[in-house]
Amino acid sequence: MPHLSSQQLRAWRGVLELQAVLMPKLEAELREETGLTINEFDVLYQLWRAPGGVRRVGDLANDVLVTRGGVTRLADRLVDRGLIEQRREEGRQAVQLALTSTGGHQIRAAMDVRFRGVRRRFVDLLDAEEVELLAKIWARLQAHNAGED
């Protein structure tokens, strides 16, 4: 390969191929046991992590791996299911999303499913040093690529 060595290509393809194989399996488990998609889980999880379970839509869009419009569509579905609610501050245009008590129960159950799958299909297959090394690698790559157009 003139552009990447075979080892570099295997490293890059490994990331892509692992994601392509792993994510559908994790999503299928999550959907089967909780009825949530991975993106719905991510919105609920980010709200669960937020102080008071409340985030502005724009801020939430920065933390989930979908567009702002995608967050709005996800939020509409989650509102319809009673898992979150929209809040508007008087005199402000920004919409906030808040986790409901039903949503709190749902995300706690979903975290058990989601992280059990991540542990079984990823974490348990690595030793502690490999986990630490991967965490450092992802942090370095993310920091380098953050904010680039």
Name the pTM for this structure: 0.86
Angle of CA points 3, 8, 12, to nearest 5°: 100
CB 44 within 8 A of CB 84: yes
> Between residues 67 and 13, which one has the greater pLDDT?
13
pLDDT value at 79 more than 70: yes
| 88-147 pLDDT tens trace | 877 677 789 999 999 999 999 999 999 999 999 999 999 999 999 999 999 999 899 886
| Whole-angstrom distance, CA of residue 97 vs CA of residue 95 | 7
Tally of CB atoms within 10 A around 63:
15
